[in-house]
Structure formats: structure tokens, C-alpha cells
Amino acid sequence: MKQAHINCDLGEGGERDEELMPLISSCNIACGGHAGTVKSMRETVHLALEHNVEMGAHPSYPDKENFGRKTLDITSENLKQSLVAQILSLKQIAEAEGGKLNHVKPHGALYNDAAKDEKTAEIVIDAILEFDQKLALYAPQDSVISRLAEGKIEVVFEAFADRNYRENYELVSRKKSNALITEKEAVFEHLFSMVSEQKITCETGTKIPCRAITFCLHSDTPNAPEIMRFLDQKLKENNMEILRHE
């Protein structure tokens, strides 16, 4: 049976983490940049270990005021130091609890900036390379950061189950009303096309090739647990399943 690898951004102060964790393949844990405290990181690590879910760091611009969703005016050195500190804090907590980190996925504006700006991408890559442990990088296909990371870091291409796309693989801006996909049927159709047909349906209706192997559903999307349960059901009806680690 074909499997879909579903990841979710957790530990961001939402109230749905306990519902979502048993339903997903991997989680990206906020580690102090846009959200997250030592307490929330430890709680999220516990949940992930309880349900045998892969754990990754979800660092961002150090900007809790804007939830990491705005490009921050910060020096390269300060940004790198912040990213290393964020990843390290989660890594130490995970290892203290008997787990380990699997990957790094930048958050928000940092994710988008690194996808198209070489300087930002290099800072993220350099921060990850500070660690001896081999950490994979979740990144969009055909992005600047995925190209620059090739040969240095394992790159796992990611696509979004609950976000609309432009034809150049960029996400539709959150400033637009159609940025998010929140109807469970529409999320399923979007995901199913990417997994079964390797095609992303853009906001214009145009289909573009999809090489993603992990698919994100945001925990702050309205009715996220309901959407996940619906995806689980509909995928099984189509001889597919969400990858879960035994």
C-alpha cells in the first residue's frame, strides 16, 4: 500500500497538538524563534516519543512578535547564532528524553526567504552544518536552498497540503484570501493529486510537477485534526495510508 508522509508544525502554543500527533509521520517543533519555550519543547518531545513520530527542529527568525512571518533585519552572524541556538536547545531536550532529531525545517518568512535568496539559504545551511549529527533539511523543490544544500545535507522535498501554489512553486501569499485551503475535501484533493499523480494544482488550475516526499498540514489551520482524520479515511479508501512508525 502506498504511503503518504505527513508532517505538522507543532509546539507553537496551539491546543491541537495532542490530537494531531498520533495522526502524523513527523513533527517540526518550534524552538524559541517564533514560538516555543523549554516547557513546550519538552512536552512536544514527550508526545512525539509516545507516538513514535519523527522529530525535527522548526527554527525561524527570532521574532515572536510577528510569529516569524516577516523578514527580519538582522546580521548574517546574528541570524546564524540564533538558528544554531534554537536547534541546539531542542536537540539537547530531545536527547535528554531519549530521542533524537531527524531534520530541520525553517519556519515562515525564513523558509520563504531561503527558498529564493542565496545569502539566507547559505546561513541556514551553515547553521545546520554546525551539528555533527546528520540532520535532513525539509525544503521546497526547485528552491535556492535545495540547490545549494545538494551534496552537503540530505534534502527532503516538501509540499503543503493546505496551501495554494503559484506556477513558479511559490506559495500564494497569506495576504490573499485563497492562501489557505481549509475545506477537508479540498485538502484531500490537493494532497491526493500530489501523492498519486505527482502534480500540484496551482491557484490558476494549472498542474505542475511535484517531487515532494513529505507533505505539511499546518496545526493552526482551522479544524486541522478533523482534516487529518478525513485524510486518513480518504487515503485508505484509495488504497493509500499515512506513514506511521511502529
Cα–Cα distance for residue pair 22/228, rounded to 1 Å: 10
As given in the structure block, the three cell numbers for residue 157 are 522535498
Instruction: Domain 2-242: state its class.
Output: alpha beta
pLDDT of residue 221: 82
pLDDT (average), residues 127-138: 94
3-class DSSP assignment, residue 90: helix
pLDDT (average), residues 192-214: 97
- Under DSSP, the state recorded for 106 is -
As given in the structure block, the three cell numbers for residue 211 are 517531487
Backbone angles phi, psi at 144, to 5 degrees: -60, -45
pLDDT of residue 131: 95
pLDDT (average), residues 127-154: 95
Cα–Cα distance for residue pair 237/155, rounded to 1 Å: 31
Domain positions in the chain: 2-242
Reply yes or no on whether the pLDDT at 73 is more than 80.
Answer: yes
As given in the structure block, the three cell numbers for residue 162 are 493546505
Q: Residue 229, exposed/middle/buried by CB under 10 A (0-12, 13-18, 19+)? A: middle
pLDDT of residue 227: 97
Percent of the chain surpassing pLDDT 90: 94
pLDDT (average), residues 121-135: 95
Reply yes or no on whether the pLDDT at 246 is more than 80.
Answer: no
Backbone angles phi, psi at 148, to 5 degrees: -70, -25
Cα–Cα distance for residue pair 166/169, rounded to 1 Å: 6
Comparing C-alpha atoms, which of 3, 22, 6, 104 is closest to residue 60? 104
Question: Tens of pLDDT along 115-127?
Answer: 999 999 999 999 9
Q: Confidence class of residue 1 from pLDDT cuts 50, 70 and 90? A: confident
Comparing C-alpha atoms, which of 49, 56, 57 is closest to residue 22? 49
pLDDT (average), residues 142-146: 96
Distances (CA, A) of 50 to 4, 25, 53, 99, 243: 21, 13, 8, 11, 16
Give the side-chain half-sphere CA count within 13 A for 177.
0
pTM of the model: 0.96
As given in the structure block, the three cell numbers for residue 156 are 527532503
pLDDT (average), residues 72-87: 98
The per-residue pLDDT of the chain, averaged, comes to 96
Contact criterion met (CB below 8 Å) for 52 and 23: no
Cα–Cα distance for residue pair 193/59, rounded to 1 Å: 29
3-class DSSP assignment, residue 196: helix
> Lowest mean pLDDT: which of 10-14, 48-52, 193-197, 242-246?
242-246
Question: Tens of pLDDT along 89-121?
Answer: 999 999 999 999 999 999 999 999 999 999 999
